[in-house]
Amino acid sequence: MQQTLADALDILKSNHLKITKQRRALLDYLLDHQDHYHEVTLVDEYMRGLFPGMSHNTIYRNLKEFEDAGMVEQRIQGGQGVVKYQCDFQHSHHHHFICENCGKVEEVDDCPMDRFQAALPGYKINTHRFEIYGLCADCNAKLNS
């Protein structure tokens, strides 16, 4: 599900975050690339190219504020911090398929946690992250053609 700039601006407003030209540019970047995780360092480089006086701390703080507002997902991939715009605000609990070739991210609604909880009687699972890695349909078709 592709989110729009209007959705993002509504989330900023509802979280009492001021709409600055820097935040708007960051949102534009994340919205234009919402089907992939991107290295935070590349996002930082992009933003500092647009706004040469912008500090690294400001960029990282904005990403953290966006994460706290539920707008972005951040994680570690290959030892690097990566970020992407949240793909589905209607279903905050979801998982991902991540293409190992092109990096495309596809949302997976099914959750296997009931089976794991049943296998751990007496345990309390607080949180989890479930990701599937492989080749997306496009990359798989290219590989087999």
What 3 state SS string does 89-121 have?
CCCCCCEEEEECCCCEEEEECCCCHHHHHHHCC
The more confidently predicted of residues 86 and 29 is 29
| Residue percentage of the chain with pLDDT more than 90 | 34
20-69 pLDDT, tens per residue? 999 999 999 998 888 888 899 999 999 999 999 999 999 999 999 998 88
Binding residues for Zn(2+): 99, 102, 136, 139
Strand pairing category for 38-39 and 95-99: unpaired
CA angle 69, 13, 33 (to 5 degrees): 60
The token pair that represents 131 in the structure block: 């990701």
Does residue 74 carry a pLDDT above 50? yes
pLDDT at 141: 92
Task: Give CA torsion, residues 45, 100, 108, 128, to 10 deg.
Answer: -80
pLDDT at 49: 96
Instruction: Yes or no: say if 14 and 47 are a contact pair by the CB < 8 Å rule.
Output: no
Question: How far is it, in rounded angstroms, from Cα 72 to Cα 96?
Answer: 14
For residues 113-142, give the mean pLDDT. 84
56-66 pLDDT, tens per residue? 999 999 999 99
pLDDT at 1: 41
Domain extent listing, the chain? 5-85, 95-143
For residues 72-80, give the mean pLDDT. 84
The CATH class, in words, for 95-143 is alpha beta
The token pair that represents 132 in the structure block: 């599937």
pLDDT at 27: 92
With 0.85 as the threshold, say if the pTM is over it.
no
Q: What is the mean pLDDT of the chain?
A: 85
Q: Which strand (E) or helix (H) includes residue 84?
A: strand 80-85
Would you give the distance in Å from CA 34 to the centre of its chain?
Answer: 7
Binding residues: 93, 99, 102, 128, 136, 139
Binding residues for Fe cation: 93, 128
The CATH class, in words, for 5-85 is mainly alpha
pLDDT at 103: 78
